Amino acid sequence: MSLLIKNAVIVNADKLAKQPRDILIEKGVIKKIASSIKEEKAKTIDTKGKLVFPGLIDIHAHFREPGEEHKETIESGVMAAAKGGFTTVMCMPNTVPVIDNRSIAELVVNESHRIGLINCIPIGAITKGQNSQELTDMFELKEAGCGALSDDGKCVSDSHLMRLAMEYAKMVDILLIQHCEDHALSSGSVMNEGVTSTLLGLKGDPGLSESVIVARDIELAHYLDSRIHFAHMSLKRSVELIRAAKARGIKVTAEATPHHFTLTEDELKSFNTNAKVHPPLRTKEDVEAIKAALRDGTIDCIVTDHAPHAREDKEKDLDHAPFGMTGLETAVGLAVTELIEPRVLSWSQMAQTMSAAPAKIMGLKNKGAIQEGLDGDVTIIDPDEEWIVCEKDFVSKSNNSPFVGRKLKGRVTETIRAGKIVFQQ
Ligand code: DOR
Ligand code: ZN
């Protein structure tokens, strides 16, 4: 069955089309883009008044399978992703057990294929059990289908081990993603360190815990001529370090989440555990620096860091509640409301940061643009629709979002993967 998308205002990273086009997807691939296509046998959808993006790609999400399926399964996770407009999602290895060997990686790959809704790629661990003691078999993990390696949730603290990891990853040709947190500096913290944490009587994480690892890994990447990708950047100082590293030609890329370009530590003033996240929400100055970095390309892409948690865990007090918030279903609304509306980013830059750049970072050659010959992955967005984030509307098994009750502008109306409509509003 082929799919014909009529009157598509195509938003690619390099340009926002002036004239609407028709897009024909056949056998999962974009076959033809032209001013008018007639194809009676094709299923047809009209996108007048909407924007047509290349399928969005989230290279950082947490599904809880295996081990904590009550929070999220791969199936509920990819359904939430499809609703959020994502056609490709990469899931982090901090499951129980950790994705640190072939059999667990294959379990995720096989389950994703069985569901088949969107493209779901596991990220393997850098160290066994994410314990920063012994490296995983990177070659085996890559062969099993892992698209990158990370100990996300934890940092590879040992500098020598990180050096070895970079050397092996370069040989195997797989990307390393660092969770930048010096655990010795952040230990016991529940929020950003500063006046607010002092007033609230809560243990703070000094931004330093992030920037020292960013600085260290930039030095390692430079010394070894290796690549490194930094997860969920939260800090003005990190942005400065990455900007300087890129200017020196060091192979570093970075990502930021909607919550880090939207919220500040002030969210914790109400002791809201849904605002407890790693890295913590920082200051207004940091939020502005993250937005400026997305605008000038210092931060390459937007990721959700979708981290579903059970209600009973988030109902604990701030000291005991887990870190993380669900993010797949609010990312587009937040990007439009917080970045497009205030003119921080253009629509093309949104296509860049949410599709083209993540595709490039992960080497997904047939994705990231709406172009003849590439995969038929498309996300259709109504740029004007306003909606309110409601707890009951989450498709994810968890609804630990600090954005519940917030009015957002911009909504995904259809998600198309390989020419098949996998979500429709
Ligand atoms: O807030 C977070 N939650 N940050 C992480 O790095 C891990 C994640 C999780 O797995 O819950
Ligand atoms: Zn994460």
Q: Which two tokens stand for residue 346?
A: 């253009």
Residue 204, H or E segment = strand 204-205
Give the residue ranges of DSSP H helices in 128-180. 138-143, 159-172
Residue 166 pLDDT = 98
3-51+375-424 and 53-362 share one CATH topology?
A: no
Confidence of residue 74 (pLDDT cuts 50, 70, 90): very high
What is the distance between the alpha carbons of residues 307 and 305, in angstroms, rounded to a whole number?
Answer: 6
330 CB within 6 A, ligand 1: no
Residue 252 has pLDDT above 90, yes or no: yes
Query: pLDDT of 94-144, one tens digit each?
Result: 999 999 999 999 999 999 999 999 999 999 999 999 999 999 999 999 999
Q: Domain 53-362: which CATH class?
A: alpha beta
Give domain limits for the chain.
3-51+375-424, 53-362
Mean pLDDT of 33-54: 97
Query: pLDDT of 351-402, one tens digit each?
Result: 999 999 999 999 999 999 999 999 999 999 999 999 999 999 999 999 999 9
Close Cβ partners of 244 (under 8 Å, ≥ 6 residues apart)? none
Q: Which two tokens stand for residue 315?
A: 């109902």
Side-chain half-sphere exposure of 247, counting CA atoms within 13 A: 7
Query: pLDDT of 317-342, one tens digit each?
Result: 999 999 999 999 999 999 999 999 99
Superfamily of chain region 3-51+375-424: Urease, subunit C, domain 1 (2.30.40.10)
What is the number of the ligand 1 atom nearest to the C-alpha of 94?
Answer: 10
Q: Which residues surround ligand 2, an ion (CB under 5 A)?
A: 152, 305
Q: Cα of 303 to ligand 2 centre, how many Å? A: 9
Q: Determine what percent of the chain is predicted with pLDDT higher than 90.
A: 99
Q: Cα of 35 to ligand 1 centre, how many Å? A: 45
Residue of 64, 94, 282, 325 to mutate, ligand 1, most atoms within 8 A of C-beta = 94
Q: Cα of 153 to ligand 2 centre, how many Å? A: 6
